[in-house]
Amino acid sequence: MNEKSPVRVRFAPSPTGHLHIGSVRTALFNWLVARQSGGVFILRIEDTDVDRNVPGADRQIMEDMRWLGLQWDEGIDVGGTHGPYYQMQRLDRYNAAVKKLLDAGQAYYAFDTPQELDVLRKQAEARKLAFRYPRPTRFATGEEAEQARRAGRPVVVRFKTFDEDITVHDEVMGDVTVGAAELDDFIILKADGIPTYHMANVVDDFDMRTTLVIRGQEFLAQTPRHIALQRALGYPTPRYAHVPTILDMKGRKLSKRDGDVELSSFRKAGYLPETLLNFVALLGWSPGGDREKFTLAELVKAFSIDRISRVNSKFDRDKLLAFNTDAIAAADPERLMEVFSDWLSVNPDSPLSRAGLDEPTRRVILEINRGFRTFGDIERKCGFIYQNDAAIPYDPAAVKKVLAKGDDAGYKMLQLLLPRLEGLEPWTAASLEALINTVCEEQSAGMGQVAQPIRVAVSGTTVSPAIYDTLVLLGKAKTVRRIRRLLVERP
Ligand code: GLU
């Protein structure tokens, strides 16, 4: 079912680096329901865990989102009427909420040292009980808290939780109830005056008029605390939809050990943003039926929260590669040119980037690489063309098989070809084809016996695009130089 009335949703990453696949999915689902309902998509940065913040990560997040085409309506960089959108710029808002709770007797100061807390924890452990902070019978006054602070104790504020079960009506997971005994008096303001994640998150969702929270399932266990805080502060509870975890193919939580998980790595490897979004949409959501290929606009129409699965999904890299291959084959040439430019810009060290290819050459390269799976494939197949002649490493297996075998047959063929290539005028695919055909006939040789030695000489390997196309791009001078070098070096 589509979202009918306009939602206000937010994506609230912590600035710890580039987006990873899981966050991309969270951002996408939020963006989709916003677009579908004519609502508002907010980007806010949850930077209160100061030690984990990575400088510049907010810019990386914005770059990733824009590359994907998931533009936000309110938030960092673009502004809006419910800002600021960095949590560290909102401390006065959290302080006001904490004060309200303190004044209402719904929160209290605590100033236990870490050692004291440790003793309490160990006592609970010995009795095989989950640790719960023992609520004092009398709450300390502000003055007592101040004295404790002066005495060097860490003064925090704890929430006086409700002695009631709390039920989250989750739109994916259904009703999830946490018993009163499991809820403790958690910290809402740390000793350094910075609120905890719970406090900041709840205040922001209220201030930013969030009506629906879509986030990863790892946050579900925290949601009862958020609901308790909302109740104590007189805030409405937004709708919640917690999305199941993404696993690797072995059923473990998706992580780096299994390969790239950062969006920027997929961009660098040469995936199309629209393919990644299509693929990520299907991690935990299904449209029903067999259809798998969707444009972003089609996803906006088809997406619905009630078709998000409760079951964890698997990140199948092979399938993503197959998706990308299909998308490249189906993409119109102008789109491929755009993505190619983008790929070059994020791979400045690639020989293809350093060559400063002009537009017609880029078109030729795309054309002769037809069937490629990622833009990284193009580099693997064509990068050698733009390397220094002297920097081409020769693959020993290719040398042995193509050049040395049969009493140096390949080397001999190159010897014979060298002057004829040098004399070839003009240097075009057609003239090269004619020359190679003639040599095949004269020598009663197969195509491979003539073309493969050239290929190894110019690329160092047995793979390249079609030989004529390759040599045209390489040009006569470089072709001749590389063959000469090979004949001298005899690797
Ligand atoms: N800041 C949390 C994160 O880094 C998001 C919490 C939320 O969406 O409520 O994923």
Domain holding 401: CATH number?
A: 1.10.10.350
Last residue of a domain, one of 344, 361, 383: 383
Helix intervals (H) in 127-173: 142-150
Q: Give domain status of residue 82, yes or no.
A: no
Q: Is the distance from the beta carbon of residue 219 to the nearest atom of ligand 1 less than 6 Å? A: yes
Q: Rounded to the nearest whole angstrom, what is the distance from the C-alpha of residue 192 to the centroid of ligand 1?
A: 21
Per-residue HEC secondary structure of 62-130 comes to: HHHHHHHCCCCCEECCCECCCCCCEHHHCHHHHHHHHHHHHHCCCEEEECCCHHHHHHHHHHHHHCCCC
The active-site residue out of 99, 100, 160, 256 is 256
Do 158 and 185 belong together in one domain?
yes
Q: Is the distance from the beta carbon of residue 470 to the nearest atom of ligand 1 less than 6 Å? A: no
Of 201, 217, 230, which is best to mutate to test ligand 1, by the most ligand atoms within 8 angstroms of its C-beta? 201
Pick the residue whose CA is nearest to atom 2 on ligand 1: 13
Q: Is 90 exceeded by the pLDDT of residue 215?
A: yes
* Atom number in ligand 1 closest to CA 205: 9
Q: Per-residue pLDDT averaged across 115-144, rounded?
A: 95
Q: Rounded to the nearest whole angstrom, what is the distance from the C-alpha of residue 347 to the centroid of ligand 1?
A: 30
Q: Rounded to the nearest whole angstrom, what is the distance from the C-alpha of residue 391 to the centroid of ligand 1?
A: 47
Do 232 and 104 belong together in one domain?
yes
Q: Give domain status of residue 429, yes or no.
A: yes
Do 128 and 212 belong together in one domain?
yes
Q: How much is the CA Rg of the chain, to the nearest whole Å? A: 31
* Atom number in ligand 1 closest to CA 16: 4
Do 107 and 143 belong together in one domain?
yes
Question: CATH number of the domain that 25 lies in?
Answer: 3.40.50.620
Peptide bond into 465 cis (omega under 30): no
- Local confidence band at 376 (pLDDT 50, 70, 90 cut-offs): very high
- Secondary structure E strands in 231-299: 239-243, 246-247
Helix intervals (H) in 286-346: 296-302, 317-330, 333-346
Q: Per-residue pLDDT averaged across 362-389, rounded?
A: 96
Q: Rounded to the nearest whole angstrom, what is the distance from the C-alpha of residue 129 to the centroid of ligand 1?
A: 29
- Local confidence band at 1 (pLDDT 50, 70, 90 cut-offs): confident
d(CA 102, CA 163): 18
Pick the residue whose CA is nearest to atom 3 on ligand 1: 13
Q: Give domain status of residue 187, yes or no.
A: yes
Of 20, 46, 76, which is best to mutate to test ligand 1, by the most ligand atoms within 8 angstroms of its C-beta? 46
In degrees, rounded to 5, the angle at the alpha carbon of residue 422 between the alpha carbons of residues 416 and 426 is 125
- Among residues 489, 434, 429, which one has the least CA distance to residue 457? 489
Do 217 and 107 belong together in one domain?
yes
Do 250 and 231 belong together in one domain?
no
* Atom number in ligand 1 closest to CA 197: 1
Of 8, 14, 203, which is best to mutate to test ligand 1, by the most ligand atoms within 8 angstroms of its C-beta? 14
Residue 57 CB partners (closer than 8 Å, separation 6+): 15, 16, 17, 18
* 247 token code pair: 């696993």
Q: Rounded to the nearest whole angstrom, what is the distance from the C-alpha of residue 349 to the centroid of ligand 1?
A: 34
Do 468 and 400 belong together in one domain?
yes
Pick the residue whose CA is nearest to atom 10 on ligand 1: 13
Tally of domains in the chain: 4
Do 411 and 358 belong together in one domain?
no
- Local confidence band at 258 (pLDDT 50, 70, 90 cut-offs): confident
- With pLDDT > 90 as the criterion, what percentage of the chain qualifies? 94
Do 184 and 165 belong together in one domain?
yes
pLDDT at 255: 86
Q: Give domain status of residue 29, yes or no.
A: yes
Q: Give domain status of residue 138, yes or no.
A: yes
pLDDT at 185: 97
Q: Give domain status of residue 331, yes or no.
A: no
pLDDT at 257: 82
DSSP 8-state assignment for residue 378: H
The count of residues in the chain is: 491
Q: Per-residue pLDDT averaged across 83-103, rounded?
A: 98
pLDDT at 280: 98
pLDDT at 149: 97
Per-residue HEC secondary structure of 193-215 comes to: CCECHHHHHHHHHHHCCCCEEEE
Give this prediction's pTM. 0.94
Name the one residue in this structure whose structure tokens are 């070059």: 344
Q: Per-residue pLDDT averaged across 256-271, rounded?
A: 93
Do 455 and 418 belong together in one domain?
yes
Do 133 and 218 belong together in one domain?
yes
- Among residues 169, 186, 187, which one has the least CA distance to residue 178? 169
Do 52 and 105 belong together in one domain?
no
Q: Is the distance from the beta carbon of residue 86 to the nearest atom of ligand 1 less than 6 Å? A: no
- Residue 256 annotated among the catalytic residues of the structure: yes
Q: Is the distance from the beta carbon of residue 13 to the nearest atom of ligand 1 less than 6 Å? A: yes
The C-alpha torsion from 19 through 20 and 22 to 27, rounded to 10°, is 20
* Neighbour count for residue 81 (Cβ, 10 Å): 7
Q: Per-residue pLDDT averaged across 456-482, rounded?
A: 96
Q: Tell me the CB-side half-sphere exposure of residue 35, using CA atoms within 13 A.
A: 18
Q: What is the pLDDT of residues 397-419, one digit of tens each?
A: 999 999 999 899 999 999 999 99
Q: Is the distance from the beta carbon of residue 14 to the nearest atom of ligand 1 less than 6 Å? A: yes
Q: Is 90 exceeded by the pLDDT of residue 130?
A: no
- Among residues 176, 314, 166, which one has the least CA distance to residue 241? 176
Of 42, 64, 215, 229, which is best to mutate to test ligand 1, by the most ligand atoms within 8 angstroms of its C-beta? 215
d(CA 282, CA 66): 21
Helix axes 467-474, 476-489, angle to 10 degrees: 100
Q: Is the distance from the beta carbon of residue 225 to the nearest atom of ligand 1 less than 6 Å? A: no
* Atom number in ligand 1 closest to CA 11: 8
Which is more confidently placed, 368 or 259?
A: 368
Centroid of chain to Cα 383: 26
* Neighbour count for residue 297 (Cβ, 10 Å): 9
Q: Give domain status of residue 485, yes or no.
A: yes
List 322's β-bridge partners, or say none. none
3-class state of residue 244 by DSSP: coil
- With pLDDT > 70 as the criterion, what percentage of the chain qualifies? 100
Q: Rounded to the nearest whole angstrom, what is the distance from the C-alpha of residue 46 to the centroid of ligand 1?
A: 7
Backbone angles phi, psi at 11, to 5 degrees: -115, 130
d(CA 109, CA 125): 25
The whole-chain average pLDDT of the chain stands at 96
Kindly list the strands in the beta sheet with 156-159, ordered across the sheet, starting from the edge strand earlier in the chain. Answer: 107-110, 156-159, 187-189
Centroid of chain to Cα 296: 17
Of 19, 217, 219, 223, which is best to mutate to test ligand 1, by the most ligand atoms within 8 angstroms of its C-beta? 219
Last residue of a domain, one of 219, 243, 267: 243
List 9's β-bridge partners, or say none. 41
* Atom number in ligand 1 closest to CA 10: 8
Q: Tell me the CB-side half-sphere exposure of residue 334, using CA atoms within 13 A.
A: 0
* 292 token code pair: 């798998």
Residue 240 CB partners (closer than 8 Å, separation 6+): 168, 169, 170, 171, 212, 213, 223
* Atom number in ligand 1 closest to CA 13: 4
Q: Per-residue pLDDT averaged across 134-161, rounded?
A: 97
d(CA 69, CA 63): 10
Q: Rounded to the nearest whole angstrom, what is the distance from the C-alpha of residue 218 to the centroid of ligand 1?
A: 10
* Atom number in ligand 1 closest to CA 215: 8
- If 0-12 CB within 10 Å is exposed, 13-18 middle and 19+ buried, where does residue 312 land? middle
pLDDT at 2: 86
Q: Is 90 exceeded by the pLDDT of residue 491?
A: no
Q: What is the pLDDT of residues 7-60, one digit of tens each?
A: 999 999 999 988 999 999 999 999 999 999 999 999 999 999 999 999 999 999
Q: Yes or no: say if 122 and 69 are a contact pair by the CB < 8 Å rule.
A: no
pLDDT at 289: 87
Range of the domain at 288: 8-76+246-314
- Local confidence band at 233 (pLDDT 50, 70, 90 cut-offs): very high
Q: Is the distance from the beta carbon of residue 214 to the nearest atom of ligand 1 less than 6 Å? A: no
Last residue of a domain, one of 350, 383, 416: 383
* Atom number in ligand 1 closest to CA 14: 4
Q: Rounded to the nearest whole angstrom, what is the distance from the C-alpha of residue 14 to the centroid of ligand 1?
A: 7
Q: Yes or no: say if 285 and 29 are a contact pair by the CB < 8 Å rule.
A: yes
- If 0-12 CB within 10 Å is exposed, 13-18 middle and 19+ buried, where does residue 346 land? middle
Q: Give domain status of residue 84, yes or no.
A: no
